[in-house]
Structure 1
Amino acid sequence: MFEIIQNNMWLAEKSTLKHFPKLIEFVDLWDRFLKDTLPGEVVQALGHSEKSLHPLYEDLQQRHDELRAKLSEGKI
């Protein structure tokens, strides 16, 4: 998801882009954890959770629904 957003940022809505820093942070911590360069205890102490991405998911779902409605109404 990170690469898709990064490669297509120019298409993203402002409301979606505001969530990008949280995605970068999430992916960075996750990658460090997977590479064993950041202990699990630190990740846990930082409160690292996918919950921080829920606003991004909600925004993406809303944009999807809006575009789908416009397409079905023939407005696009």
Structure 2
Amino acid sequence: FYGGSRGNPDRGGSGAAVVRLGATLATIHACWLVSISHASPTTTNNLAEHYGLRTKWPQCTSLKMNGIASSFT
């Protein structure tokens, strides 16, 4: 899950990628990808990240995914 805005505040967006990890890089499989735009000029970085988590986490739990971790670069 990740989110951000062009300024702070400004328009922003968030997204998520769920991958299944294998023993090697060649066995990584993208299971689910999604993104959403937040057009409000009052969107902050923290708000975009919160929206990303709030709107995408239920999908992960409904698919009964476990071992979910986040990675930020």
TM-score, normalised to structure 1, is: 0.29
TM norm structure 2 = 0.30
Higher helix share: 1
Question: Which structure would you say has the larger Rg?
Answer: 1
Structure showing greater relative contact order (alpha-carbon pairs closer than 8 Å, 6 or more residues apart): 2
